[in-house]
Amino acid sequence: MMFTVQNALDLSAEHVGFCASSPKVLAKVNEAVRRLLPTDDYQHTLDQVRYFTQNNSITLSREHVAARMVDICGTPVDICSQAYEYVQSGPGEYQWDQLPKLIDAGTYPVFFDPPTDYTTYLFAASTSVDDASLSITYTGKTTGGADILTSTGANRQTLAIDSWVADAEGTLDHVITLISDTPVPNITSVVLPAGRKGYVSLYAYEATTGRMWFLAKYHPSETIPGYRRYRLPVFCPDYGMQVHCLCKKQYIPATSGDDILLVQNLDAIKLMVKAIERENVNDINGAVAFQQLAIAQLQTQQGNESRGIRFNFVCESDGPGVNII
């Protein structure tokens, strides 16, 4: 069975000193999950995700923080860090690399970058008309790498949010006028207003022809988006590539008791809540002890759920030899 946030609230409430419905208990459970999630790749904290791309990169969704393993077009390949192209054994940025792999490209505020061969402005629209009075704050750079500045010399720009007709994404009943003041070829950060009711989509807009390119779609609870991106040094733009990733889940605060727990171990969460309470009263030894107990609970669960699973390595040769299994 899967545990919900309400299960953790009921079990942890007495250790926080409030009833299970108190926002303080939810805050402590969220903090416990946030601290436990990065400690290891436990069961239920990994997802299998498939991407199909005709580009030289993929960007993970907000639900995932990193790719752990990857298969490209049916072949398992390596994942390399951002330092890959800087080590002596690496290929270098401008040298052709014949080996398919994923290379960490860092964190970006959009899924896709604006097109480089067009002069485009930014346009944003929400699925809720209630968001139409709000604005996005963003920073960007010119093609030459300089900050895009306002008339007063500030590097933070604002973009008013438009709204789709009848909450139907892609449908407008008016000419697009709410666009960025200047072209934005590179977006370096995006900050969205809190309390939005709809999903906000961000587009690059070419004013002369009216063409639009999708850049990102933001969840109502997202305020400072950041998505992990990986580059594919070998890709096929004509036919595309299928990238199958085993991804680590990202911490996203729960808002309802009906939400599924990211960390599926009630005892570990309860112990981590107790560790936080001990830490808040400067009982460091008690906090460390409860945290170690919480991690031990997760490790025990991990062993119990994966016991008996083995990796088989098969080595074969064309000539006489020994097959190792």
Q: Which tokens is 273 given?
A: 């809540």
- Secondary structure of residue 262 in the 3-state scheme: coil
d(CA 273, CA 290): 9
What letter does residue 23 receive in the DSSP assignment?
H
Q: Residue with structure tokens 């209630």?
A: 130
What are the percentages of helix, strand and coil residues in the chain, rounded to 5? 25, 30, 50
Q: Phi/psi at 203 (nearest 5 deg)?
A: -130, 155
d(CA 288, CA 278): 9
Question: pLDDT tens digits for the chain (325 residues)?
Answer: 899 999 999 999 999 889 988 999 999 999 999 999 999 999 899 999 999 998 889 999 999 999 999 999 888 998 988 888 787 766 666 665 667 889 999 999 999 999 989 999 999 999 999 999 899 999 999 988 899 988 888 889 999 999 998 777 888 888 888 999 999 999 999 999 999 999 999 999 998 898 999 999 999 999 999 999 999 887 777 788 899 999 999 999 999 999 999 999 999 999 999 999 999 999 999 999 999 999 999 999 998 888 776 666 665 555 555 444 4
186-191 and 135-141 strand pairing: antiparallel
What's this model's pTM, rounded to 2 decimal places?
0.86
Q: For residue 267, which of 27, 7, 1 has the smallest C-alpha distance? A: 7
> What residue spans define the domains of the chain?
5-43+262-306, 46-109+227-249, 121-218
What letter does residue 102 receive in the DSSP assignment?
E
Total residue length of the chain: 325
17: region left, alpha or beta (phi > 0 left; psi from -120 to 50 alpha): left
Residue type at position 181 = D
121-126 and 162-163 strand pairing: parallel
